[in-house]
Structure 1
Amino acid sequence: MALAQDEADDAAVTEEAVQADPAPFAGMGTAYWTVNTDVSVEPENVWMLDLSNGGRVAIRLKPEWAPEHVERIKTLTQQGFYDGVIFHRVIDSFMAQSGDPTGTGRGGSELPDLKAEFNRVPHLRGTVSMARMGNSEDSANSQFFIVFYPTMAIDGKYTVFGRVISGMDKVDAITRGEPPANPTRIVQASLASQNKAPPATSAPAPGAEITADMLNNAASGSDE
C-alpha cells in the first residue's frame, strides 16, 4: 500500500529535528550511514543521472547496505534501461520516483523481483531507496525514489541503497506531479567508472503522455 500524502507530511521533519532527536540512530555508528562524497573514490559505485532539466546528479551506491539492489541498479544502468525514463511520481516535500519505462508506476524490468534488503539507514534528505509494487516487501524491481526531506516513517519499509552526493539542487528542481504535466526525464544513466560525458544537449521532456487517470488506476498496484 502506498504511503499517503498526509502520512508523508506528518513524517517529514527538518534536519535540525533529526539532530535534536538522535533516537532513530541509537546503537548505529555514524560510519555505517555516512557516505563518501568524492566521485573519484570507487567510481564503480557512483551512479550518474543526467536529467532533462540540464543537471547531473551523482549518487553513491552502497553495496554494504543492499548488495543485490546495488547490483540490480548497475546491471540495468549498463543495459541502458534508465535512459529516457521519466520521474512519474513527484510529491513536494516527500520524494521523486522514477525507474518505470511505462511511466505509469506499474512497470519494471524483465528481471525477477528482488528480496527486500531492509537496513538501518534512515531516509534522510538525498537518500535513494527502491520502490515496491503492491504490498509485498519482496517486489522491488527497477523503480527507485529520491527523498527530498527526512521521512522517518518509511524507515525499514523500503530498501535504502544509496545517497545523493552531488546535484541535489537538480533533484529539487524535478517537476512535481502524479504524473507531472511536463515530467523531468533521465536523459542518460551511467556509472562514473564508465566515464560517460553528460549529453551535449539535455532536451526538454515532451508533454506527458501519461494521464492522471492512468496513475489513479495504477495506484492500487504500486507502492513507493
Structure 2
Amino acid sequence: MKLASLAAVMALTAASAASAQAASDWRTPDPDNVLVVDTNKGRIIVELVPEAAPAHVARVRGLAKAHFYDGLTFFRVLDSFMDQTGDPKNDGTGGSDQPNLTAEFTFRRGAGYAPQGKAGPAEIGFVGPLPVWSQNSALAAMTADGKVAAWGAFCPGVLGMARAGDPDSANSQFFFMRQTNASLDKTYTAFGRALNGLEAIRAIKVGEPVAAPQDSMTTVRVLSDIPAAQRPNVQVMDTAGPAFKALVDKRRVELGGAFTPCDVTIPVQVK
C-alpha cells in the first residue's frame, strides 16, 4: 500500500513537472501588438512585431484603433502569393490621410532575436512569431552599434506592407502571405504574422482585380481595445524556448539542405 502511494505521488510529481515545463514554453503576446481581423471567411489573429518595423506597426495599429480598416475589401488576391487589402477605395489607388512611410525593409538585430542556426550561407531566427534572415553574427564585432542587419522572411501568414514603385510609398495598404515568396525579402516591409487563420487567408476570393463581390474585413481591432470578457485568450509557443528549438531541429533534419524558416509552424493556442 505504501509503495503504491509512493508511486502515485511520484507520478503526480512528474506530471506536475511536465506541466510546469510545458507552461514555460508558451508566452502571452502583448495585447497592444495583436490584431483581431474578422473577415467574411473567418477570423485571423495577427501579432505585430515592432522590433522589425516600428513605424509600420504604429501606423497599422493606429488605423485599426480608428476603425479605418473596418469593411475594406481584399481587392487583389493571387492564389500562390498574397491577399491585398487596406485601401479605402478598394482598388489599390487609395490610402489614409497620413504621410507615406519610410521603408523598413531591414532592421538592426538586437534583443528579442531568437537564433536558430543557419539555412545555407545565411543565419536564421525569429523575432516573436516573425521568421527572419540575418547577416552573420561575427560581423557584429565590426559594426558601430554591435549589431547586424536582419530582415523578415515572407513566409505563409506573414504581414507585409504594400507600396508603389517608390520604396518609401507605403501608407495603409497591406497584404497577408498565402504562400512563401522570397522575392519580397529585403524589398518590402514585413511587420507581423498571422498566429492563426491561415485557412481564412487562403479562402479569400482570388482575382487581379477580384471580381465583385469581394471578400472583406468586417472589423479590425487591437486586442487591448476589446472588452476583457470578449477577448480571445492567445498563447504562442516561445520561439526563444527549448520546445520550439526542438521543432526547428526536427524540421531541419527532415528537409536537410532545403530547410528554411518558412518550414516551421509555430504552435498557437486560442481559447
- 1:116 correspondence with 2:103: yes
> 2: CA distance between counterparts of 1:162 and 1:41?
12
> Which residue does the alignment assign to 1:89?
76
Q: Which runs of 5+ in 1 are unaligned?
A: 1-35, 199-224
> 2: CA distance between counterparts of 1:37 and 1:127?
20
> Which residue does the alignment assign to 1:8?
none
Instruction: Answer whether contact 1:49 1:57 (CA < 8 A) is retained.
Output: yes
Q: How does 1:84-163 map to 2 (within 5 A)?
A: 84-119=71-106, 120-133=151-164, 135-163=165-193
- Equivalent of 2:225, from 184, 194, 199? 194
Distance 1:84 1:51, change over 3 A: same
> Which residue does the alignment assign to 1:64?
51
- Report the 3-state secondary structure (helix = DSSP H, G, I; strand = E; otherwise coil) of the residue aligned with 1:44: helix
Q: How does 1:162-177 map to 2 (within 5 A)?
A: 162-177=192-207
Query: Alignment identity in percent?
Result: 41
- The amino acid of 1:64's aligned partner reads E
- Report the 3-state secondary structure (helix = DSSP H, G, I; strand = E; otherwise coil) of the residue aligned with 2:83: strand
Q: Which has the higher helix share?
A: 2
- The amino acid of 1:131's aligned partner reads A
- Report the 3-state secondary structure (helix = DSSP H, G, I; strand = E; otherwise coil) of the residue aligned with 1:190: strand
Q: How does 1:13-52 map to 2 (within 5 A)?
A: 40-52=28-40
Q: Normalised by the size of structure 2, how large is the TM-score?
A: 0.57
> 1: CA distance between counterparts of 2:210 and 2:183?
25
Q: Which runs of 5+ in 2 are unaligned?
A: 1-24, 107-150, 232-271
- The amino acid of 1:161's aligned partner reads F
Instruction: Answer whether contact 2:72 2:217 (CA < 8 A) is retained.
Output: yes
> 2: CA distance between counterparts of 1:76 and 1:37?
29
Instruction: Answer whether contact 2:82 2:177 (CA < 8 A) is retained.
Output: yes
- The amino acid of 1:44's aligned partner reads D
> 1: CA distance between counterparts of 2:29 and 2:152?
21
Instruction: Answer whether contact 2:29 2:47 (CA < 8 A) is retained.
Output: no
> 2: CA distance between counterparts of 1:153 and 1:41?
29
> 2: CA distance between counterparts of 1:77 and 1:44?
11
Distance 1:83 1:60, change over 3 A: same
Quote the offset at 1:180 in angstroms.
Answer: 1.9
- The amino acid of 2:36's aligned partner reads M
- Equivalent of 1:76, from 59, 63, 77? 63
* 1:117-176, Cα deviation, whole Å (9 max, x unpaired): 11211101111100002x100000000011111100111110000001011111111111
> 2: CA distance between counterparts of 1:132 and 1:37?
35
Instruction: Answer whether contact 1:47 1:59 (CA < 8 A) is retained.
Output: yes
Instruction: Answer whether contact 1:125 1:147 (CA < 8 A) is retained.
Output: yes
> Which residue does the alignment assign to 1:216?
none
Instruction: Answer whether contact 1:86 1:186 (CA < 8 A) is retained.
Output: yes
> 2: CA distance between counterparts of 1:114 and 1:93?
27
Instruction: Answer whether contact 2:36 2:223 (CA < 8 A) is retained.
Output: yes
> 2: CA distance between counterparts of 1:71 and 1:151?
25
- Report the 3-state secondary structure (helix = DSSP H, G, I; strand = E; otherwise coil) of the residue aligned with 1:108: coil
- The amino acid of 1:162's aligned partner reads G
Greater Rg, structure 1 or structure 2? 2
